[in-house]
Amino acid sequence: MSAPRVVSVAAASAAARAGLEVGDEILAIGGRVPRDVIEYRLLVDDPDPVLTVRRGHQELELVAVKAGGEILGAEVSSAVFDRVRTCDNHCEFCFIYQLPKGMRRSLYLKDDDYRLSFLYGNFTTLTRFTELDLERVVSERLSPLFVSIHTTDPELRARILRNHRGATSLRWLRALLDAGIEVHGQVVVCPGVNDGEALEATMAGIVDQYPELASVACVPLGLSRYSTEPNMRPHTRGEASSVVDTVEQWQAIAADTLGRRLVYAADEYYLMAARPFPPTEAYDGFPQHENGIGMARAFEAAFAGDQSCAHGVRPGFFAWVDGAPPAGYRAVRAVAGPVTLRKETARTPVAVVTGELGAAVLGDVLASHLDQGTPHGSPLRLVPVRNDFFGGTIAVTGLLTGADVAAALAQEPVGHRYLLPDVCLSGGRFLDGVPVSDLPRPVEVVPSDGRSLAEALRRA
């Protein structure tokens, strides 16, 4: 187990008064060794915690004089201090298996850790969940959690996960729900595997066996050009339309029996099926917004000024791997900030950089602006970026790489104002490690929600 390292100390905080410094390693708090940032925050929440720290070759004891519940004022370098619980499933659709060689080592780590589910919204299959884990989740009320269901058929689930424990691990889902833990589910739908009649059976199983689930998302598998699985293929338009029909039919059944829709189809399915998105109210507050459920409608509503739909977006598929956000767990990770090399003037042409799926959504949202320009009269256009790095069906903005964005911007005019959504960045870098500052055109990094884009367009 590695000791958490202090990365920031707030001025005039209890941590600062105790003499805690950036770079200190916290060995224990009140004699207890924290396993993760969850336990760390619980321990430092006590009054006057005693911190055992290592500073260089010295071991010190510092007393942070504070009231119980008062913020300590120190943030640490990672989310998990012991070993991340890795995934021992071998799903055919697993995106980690579809990564090219040569990327950052941390990106190849498959986790199946309930703590990262709680902290970052990662989905866990529960195949490595234990009685001790259940006891901790229930006693500490680690809620909500996010569970990959894929199917409620035990035999099919074991086959999909390529793990015999997949047939029985949903018993932990039942135990979590019985304990009152809020759980959101996910079904990654693979054509010819768990769609069609299998998806119908899964929807019936969810409504019958797990009606307490807060929400269930049906999302399409993502296929990069590096996939080596012969049975995995993209959905046809007809298959995508069938998934939408199945979900909407079971929404009606759930609404009649449970009083709520419960299940939702990803925006990508509506795009693939060339069907309009459901109205905003059909998403019941967007419980799985960050999983691509209702993101288009939420963006549209927030862009139009509806503050209730101004949802933030997790910045990227691998948001957790670079450590706990400085602002604390379950917080939006900060990006490098706007990168502007010169002050733009009024009527400077503005371009919104986005992935191909993002462009399909933004085209409708920005239709009038694309014709008439920004509120300041500046010409406005979209710059859709093709994901050649991953290829295949990967077209979401969150998986854009610096290489592909750079290639697209290199073809664009100098002197224009380029807006880049922060969803494709972590710590100011793309998945391939390219920093924003290396792009061939200066860009302004904008939070990936409709309100932030509207505000950016209103700026001269």
- Residues 201 and 269 both lie in one domain: yes
Alpha-helical segments (H) within 321-449? 356-365, 367-372, 402-409
Distance from C-alpha of 359 to C-alpha of 396, rounded to nearest angstrom: 9
Confirm whether 320 is domain-assigned: no
Distance from C-alpha of 53 to C-alpha of 57, rounded to nearest angstrom: 10
Residue 145's nearest CA partner among 124, 118, 171 is 118
CATH number at residue 106: 3.80.30
Distance from C-alpha of 148 to C-alpha of 130, rounded to nearest angstrom: 16
Flag whether pLDDT at 334 surpasses 90.
no
Strand ranges inside 308-460, DSSP E: 350-355, 380-385, 417-421, 443-446
- Residues 57 and 102 both lie in one domain: no
Check residue 376 and give its pLDDT.
81
Check residue 339 and give its pLDDT.
45
- Residues 21 and 148 both lie in one domain: no
- Residues 282 and 358 both lie in one domain: no
Confirm whether 60 is domain-assigned: yes
Strand ranges inside 201-259, DSSP E: 215-220
> Residue 23 is part of which domain span?
6-76
Confirm whether 127 is domain-assigned: yes
Element (H, E) at 297: helix 295-303
Give the pLDDT band (50/70/90) at residue 368: confident
Q: Which of 293, 322, 339 is the last residue of a domain?
A: 293
Antiparallel, parallel or unpaired: β 380-385 and 74-76: unpaired
Residues in CB range of 295: below 8 A, 6 or more apart: 267, 286, 289, 311, 313, 361
Q: Which of 293, 313, 339 is the last residue of a domain?
A: 293
**In contact, 232 and 223? CB cutoff 8 Å:** yes
> How do residues 112-161 score in pLDDT, each as one tens digit?
999 999 998 899 999 999 999 999 999 999 999 999 999 999 999 999 99
Q: Which of 267, 293, 319 is the last residue of a domain?
A: 293
Check residue 60 and give its pLDDT.
96
Check residue 311 and give its pLDDT.
58
Give the pLDDT band (50/70/90) at residue 330: very low
Provide the 10 A C-beta neighbour count for residue 413. Answer: 10
Q: Is 48 exposed, middle or buried (0-12, 13-18, 19+ CB in 10 A)?
A: middle
**In contact, 273 and 241? CB cutoff 8 Å:** yes
Count of domains forming the chain: 3
